[in-house]
Amino acid sequence: MADMTLTLKIWRQKDRKSPGKFVTYTVENVSEHMSFLEMMDVLNEQLIKKGEDVVEFDNDCREGICGMCSLVINGRPHGQEHGTATCQLHMRKFKDGDIIVVEPWRAAAFPVLKDLAVDRTAFDRIMAAGGYTSINVGGAQDANAIPIAKRASDEAMDAASCIGCGACVAACPNASASLFVAAKISQLALLPQGQIERRRRAANMVAQMDKEGFGDCSNHAECEAVCPKEISITHIARMKREYFKAMALGE
Amino acid sequence: MKLDSKIPEGPLAEKWDKHRFKLKLVNPANKRKYNIIVVGTGLAGASAAASLAELGYHVKNFCIQDSPRRAHSIAAQGGINAAKNYPNDGDSIWRLFYDTIKGGDYRSREANVYRLAQVSNNIIDQGVAQGIPFAREYGGLLDNRSFGGAQVSRTFYARGQTGQQLLLGAYSSLMRQVAKKQVQLITRTEMLDLILVDGKAVGITTRNLITGEIATHMADAVVIATGGYGNVYYLSTNAKNSNATAAWRCYKRGAAFANPCFTQIHPTCIPFSGDYQSKLTLMSESLRNDGRVWVPKKRGDDRAPNDIPEDERDYYLESRYPSFGNLVPRDVASRNAKDVVDDGRGVGPSKVAVYLDFADSINRLGENVIREKYGNLFDMYERIIDENPYKTPMMIYPAVHYTMGGLWVDYNLMSNIPGLFVLGEANFSDHGANRLGASALMQGLADGYFVIPYTIGDYLATNKATKVPSSHHAIEESVALVHDKMDKLLYIKGEKTSTEFHRELGKIMWEYVGMARDEAGLNKALEEIPKLRDEFWQNVRVSSDKNLMNKDLEFTGRIADFLELGELMARDALERNESCGGHFRLESQTDEGEAKRKDDEYAFVSAWEYKGEGKKPALHKEKLVFDNVELTQRSYK
Amino acid sequence: MPALPTSLWSSVARKALMALTGLALIGFLAVHLLGNLILLTGNADAFNLYSNIYASMGSFLYVIEAGLVAFFLIHIVSGVTVALGKMKARPVSYEKTANAGGPSRKTISSTTMIYTGIIVLAFLVFHVTTLKYGAHYETTIHGEKMRDLHKLIIENFAQPGIVVTYVLTMLLLGFHLRHGFWSAFQSLGALQPRLSGLIYTIGVLIAIILAVGFLFIPLWIFLTA
Ligand SMILES: Cc1cc2nc3c(=O)[nH]c(=O)nc-3n(C[C@H](O)[C@H](O)[C@H](O)COP(=O)(O)OP(=O)(O)OC[C@H]3O[C@@H](n4cnc5c(N)ncnc54)[C@H](O)[C@@H]3O)c2cc1C
Ligand code: HEM
Ligand code: SF4
Ligand code: FES
């Protein structure tokens, strides 16, 4: 296939406080084997040579696991491919002459830092509110002391595979963080190790989520559809049950 | 420079126990009076920061990314070793120790490796208690798989996301301490210099990657856990932000850099496809459990893989190494892939790849079993290459993956600079000349959870904290140095981007300091790298603003350091005229073309001392003593 | 031991309140529809006798009415909170939006809940003022004097404007319920992946039955008058 020429409409914003706007760029000679971010690299190389500021976008592992990359591509967080993070999206999914709109995650709880990079530390604060088992190093019993049903362990692993990218928030019409929060609550609720603190965890993590200014969950399930790890909203249902238990039974 | 490894006396199995007893303790009530800086939030950094905070120390924990959870440890796929012997196949602490020493081709310390094997079991216990959903059998007990370089199944895993799960476990413990205010988390911040006062490490100079602000942080001890430097090669399986800067700054402040030339080239990566490529993707080594590696017997065979009949395929690992077959250690597997490709039998569009074929396993176990084990890896492969690996064999080729070398540390994981501790991939300690699969996760967590909490106490107990005034000249000098370097880079306004330089450096490194090295090539590298570096300092162009988020500026600074480190690696490789593990000198091979060690001359750790700008670094040798294992030629036949 | 920081007004509990009140309102609508079906028989006395059951409840009716109003209020206040919260949570909207497809349940129904809700509310005000507090005709059945609601209804449904209003609003109510029914179960944490598709289908059926049922009555009366 011949190389492509693409038009990119990219959100540019100098810093947290400045207003932003869309700027249009043309990128030529895009190979179908490139990843989306490699295409962005090509653009940035051009900008550097022209003496312009590079387009800032977060990324690190480039293999779909660190959760650092973001970008809303043509209206879809992480682009149109299901189960795929932006860094794993390849240009063969686009056509010559395409116009691609690239925007940052948009949510009050994820303020833009520069261009396409946003601040996702709200997720860390939610984790700090209870996304752990309160055990210190040194006291753990033998790993095989408590057998865990394979099904429970597998389902916990489904939830645990969340990469904390925030696409669920970006895609949600309400900017709700329910899927991210539920994934952690659900993982630990499914495992014996998480039992001791399960109610306290659900209550605290939900409280922190609300405090961070995410929206409510209207059950659009867009989150599941864009999640690069395809985490199911069934975990949100479990989070709700956990929360109701916490309400009803207390500590 | 004095290199005292501080290996405790006594029988191997008792060393760690006795040493722990001898280490001085900090009184619990006094712990909160100590401040510790931990740079890095990977397995090593996060586990260290969490454990130290649990003990009561005040910890400041730094990372480049926006969250600790994104450290590159997250990308480890395959698994983590431990000597649990759950499968009852004859594993033991001794066997894990022996395999690791042998796998490292006898270039690591017995005492360190033994300790690693000893604490390996505790790591799994800790992980399970944190709620890590390791793979399980139907009976509810933990499952194991086998990995290269071992004949027992001792690798614990969580699908193809073991590093992710272990890191999230450590991260969760860390966030618990953040909530308790025992740890102050400072993200999107890069350490750019180490501050020494009276020869002791007492702080670091950092840049806030959002605002560009340069700041200094002072502490009673500094722990570096900043990962490996594989990105010297430009293309590697490392993340884009992986870098050597923190370690390199420590080196330039006097910390010895050990075995810089020991790099691991991983045999199972997705092959290179074009110049725009920004990284190489690893396919977990665990795939070699069920995949068979082959190339056509005929040179230049252009048929599609499935059209090549069985008897025209060369399953070269199985035929050359009957007892280990596809599970030979990484260095051996990589070199053999290079051999067949150099022989003109490579496959794929570039002819620089070999097949990894699952047809047999799919026939034997069914597609579902294979999907369950490796589904996410297969998906990842298909996304990148656009071919279905359930139907067509995968194409793989070696890529730079891990750096065994790193800052020199003693048994306590302290460098030769008092108060500077180094953990995880950033140190050189446990893997010798080659790391076995699933051992880096083990080492990073062993360092952070089970070693540093004891050894740092000994240092703190014997080194009373001195308050350093903020006007101290060491602080001012460090800040000025950091500003100068950045201003210089911005001032050049040349014609090439830093990525272009990085790519060129990578080509030199891969060509001459890659899978096979020889004197002529290394000398060539030693000529070309300084030339490239000079050009860099005259002709690089950086995106302009230093008071804003500016990833180009960050990367350019790191590339400047790679341009220096690359030279040291070539120098070290030239100096070591033997083959061992991942370091293969063409001059030193057995008759069968395997790596040939020269134990009489080279059974030592090379530790390089920085001697100043433009001066040749000095080589110090820490002799390796083997009382417990016999040094044999590694054989996986 | 300190109590857990749970609250009835947290994002999770708020949605549970919505779901419970929403489901209760669906229950009310179902009963309401069943009663209304009597209108289709054309038997005015039967209908008036039926509606008189409520009228003769006395103060108990107030209790029911108060309960109904309370349910509406809770539903409305929490619904408005969700809708306002959404604007606060995403102050800058996207230049381009697209549905993700796949397992997504995002539809025109799910994204317009607040609008369909408000229109239904406005309709309810109209509905209650024109009927409950509308012209008071009287009739005598089996010697008992009671309100002739049937007459009022027939009068009303003879006007095309009113019929069109009913038909359109009931369609919108159908949209509200298409997402609402399934959504309520998810909000209550009652959904398993296995059940999800089934409940969604049941929700669609209920939406169709209620909407078509309610809009058919005025239409039928209008057409057969
Ligand atoms: C693709 C891949 C797969 C792997 N699979 C396996 C496996 O299956 N089993 C196994 O045992 N090993 C595996 N490894 C190796 C293993 O993952 C790493 O060696 C190990 O995770 C390194 O951990 P670390 O904590 O030392 O460093 P990292 O996880 O790399 O963390 C480095 C930290 O330091 C921070 N940092 C770096 N520089 C600075 C600076 N200047 N200032 C501030 N912060 C800084 C970073 O932000 C980061 O937080 C794999 C490696 C790769 C690349
Ligand atoms: C008879 C009338 C009504 C019925 C049967 C009904 C039913 C429902 C149901 C079952 C839900 C799903 C609850 C959930 O998601 O948990 C819902 C949601 C909703 N309702 Fe109603 N409702 C009615 C009237 C109203 C009115 C008058 C409003 C006025 C504002 C309203 C606004 C909403 C909104 C905004 C939602 C969506 C909540 C969200 O997005 O999370 N509804 N309704
Ligand atoms: S739930 Fe999915 S979309 Fe949301 S943060 Fe986790 S991985 Fe990303
Ligand atoms: S860059 Fe790591 S997930 Fe995309």
If you take atom 6 of ligand 3, which residue's CA is the nearest one? A162
The amino acid at C150: H
Per-residue confidence band for B332, with pLDDT thresholds at 50, 70 and 90: confident
User: In Å, what is the CA distance from C195 to each residue of A19, A241, B38, C188, C201?
Assistant: 46, 16, 48, 14, 10
Answer yes or no: do B165 and A119 touch at CB < 8 A: no
pLDDT the model gives residue B12: 97
Q: Do B125 and A143 touch (CB under 8 A)?
A: yes
With bands split at pLDDT 50, 70 and 90, how would you rate the model's confidence at B593? confident
Domain coordinates of chain A in residue numbers?
4-113, 121-133+147-249
CA distances from C68 to B386, C25, C61, C64, C75 (A): 58, 8, 10, 6, 10
CB B281 within 8 A of CB B380: yes
> Could you read off the pLDDT of C9-28 as tens digits, one per residue?
999 999 999 999 999 999 99
C-alpha C184 – ligand 2 centre gap (Å): 9
Ligand 2 touching residue C176 (CB < 6 A): yes
Do the chains contact at B65 and A44, CB–CB below 8 Å? no
pLDDT at A70: 96
* pLDDT digit string, tens, across residues A129-181: 999 999 999 999 999 999 999 999 999 999 999 999 999 999 999 999 999 99
Q: Mark whether B and A touch (3+ CB pairs within 8 Å).
A: yes
C19 lines ligand 2 (CB under 6 A): yes
pLDDT value at position B372?
83
Question: Best mutation site among A154, A220, A232 for testing chain C: the one with the most C CBs within 10 Å?
Answer: A220
pLDDT of B26: 95
**Quick one: pLDDT at residue C166?**
97
Mean pLDDT to the nearest integer, A117-124: 98
For the CA of A161, the closest atom of ligand 3 is 7
What is the rounded CA–CA span in Å between residue B320 and residue B636?
A: 9
* pLDDT over 90 percentage in chain C: 94
> Which among C91, C103, C111 is the nearest to A108, CB-wise?
C91
Q: Which of A168, A220, A222, A223 to mutate to test the pocket of ligand 3 (most atoms within 8 A of CB)?
A: A168
Shortest CA gap C171–chain A (Å): 21
Q: DSSP 3-state assignment of C150?
A: helix
Residue C1 has pLDDT above 60, yes or no: no
In chain B, which residues fall in CATH 1.20.58.100?
473-621
Active site residues of B: 330
Chain B residues with CB under 8 Å of A139 CB are: 129
Interface of A with C in 32-61 (CB under 8 A): none
Confidence (pLDDT) at B150:
84
Nearest to A101 among C15, C96, C179 (CB): C96
pLDDT for B149 equals: 74
The confidence score (pLDDT) of residue C225 equals: 77
Which band of pLDDT confidence, cut at 50, 70 and 90, is reported for residue C40? very high
**CB-based contact (8 Å) between A217 and chain C?**
yes
State the average pLDDT for chain B.
95
Q: Which of A78, A110, A124, A163 gets mutated to test ligand 3 (max ligand atoms within 8 A of its CB)?
A: A163
The ranges assigned to domains in chain C are 9-95+111-224
Q: Which CATH class is domain B265-399?
A: alpha beta
DSSP state, B580?
B
Q: Give B482-518 pLDDT, tens digit per residue.
A: 999 999 999 999 999 999 999 999 999 999 999 999 9
Does domain C9-95+111-224 match CATH 3.30.43?
Answer: no
Class level of CATH domain B473-621: mainly alpha
Does A123 sit within 8 Å of B67, measured CB to CB? yes
User: Do chains B and C touch, with touching meaning 3 or more CB–CB pairs less than 8 Å apart?
Assistant: no
d(CA A180, CA A162): 7
A48 with B497: CB under 8 angstroms?
Answer: yes
CB-nearest partner of C15 from A216, A233, A250: A216
Mean per-residue pLDDT, B628-634: 89
B297-330 pLDDT tens trace: 999 999 999 999 999 999 999 999 998 899 888 8
pLDDT of residue B185: 98
A-contacting residues in B 190-249 (Cβ below 8 Å)? 210, 239-241
Mean pLDDT of B528-537: 98
Q: What is the complex's ipTM, to 2 decimals?
A: 0.98
Q: What is the mean pLDDT of residues B564-577?
A: 98
Residue B234 · residue B505 · CB < 8 Å:
yes
How far is the C-alpha of B90 from the C-alpha of B491, rounded, in Å? Answer: 62
- In tens, the pLDDT along C90-138 reads 999 999 999 999 999 999 999 999 999 999 999 999 999 999 899 999 9
Choice from A78, A158, A179 to test ligand 3 binding pocket (greatest atom count within 8 A of CB): A179
Task: Please check the confidence at residue B634 and state whether its pLDDT lies above 80.
Answer: no
- pLDDT digits 0-9 by tens, B387-421: 999 999 999 999 999 999 999 999 999 999 999 99
The CATH architecture that domain A4-113 belongs to is Roll (3.10)
Beta strands in C105-207 (DSSP E): 138-141, 144-147
Q: What is the CATH number of domain A121-133+147-249?
A: 1.10.1060.10
- The rounded percent of chain B whose pLDDT value lies above 90 is 88
- B347-367 as b/e: b if 16+ CB within 10 A: bbeeebbbbbbbeebbeeeee
CATH topology agreement for domains A4-113 and A121-133+147-249: no
Q: What are phi and psi of B540, to 5 degrees?
A: -85, 150
Q: Is pLDDT above 90 for B464?
A: no
Calculate mean pLDDT across residues A195-202: 97
Residue A1 predicted with pLDDT over 60: no
Q: What is the pLDDT of residues B236-278, one digit of tens each?
A: 999 999 999 999 999 999 999 999 999 999 999 999 888 889 9
Residue B142, pLDDT > 90, answer yes
Q: What is the pLDDT of residue C90?
A: 97
C-alpha–C-alpha distance, residues B428 and B422, integer Å: 9
In the predicted model, is pLDDT for residue C191 greater than 70? yes
Q: A166 CB under 6 A from ligand 4?
A: no
pLDDT for residue B359 is more than 70: yes
CB contact under 8 A, C187 and A240: yes
Question: From the CB of A69, is ligand 4 less than 6 Å away?
Answer: yes
CA distance A66 to A61: 6
Residues 6+ apart with CB under 8 A from A227: A83, A162, A167, A168, A179
Question: Which of the two residues, B634 and B171, has the higher pLDDT score?
Answer: B171
Q: Determine the distance in angstroms separating the CA of B518 from the nearest CA of chain A, rounded to an integer.
A: 32
Average pLDDT, chain C: 95
- Lowest mean per-residue pLDDT among B373-377, C31-35, C121-125: B373-377
Res C2: pLDDT: 61
Q: Is the CB of A8 under 6 A from ligand 4?
A: no
The mean pLDDT value of chain A amounts to 97
Return the pLDDT at B380. Answer: 86
User: Rounded to the nearest whole angstrom, what is the distance from the C-alpha of residue B627 to the centroid of ligand 4?
Assistant: 45
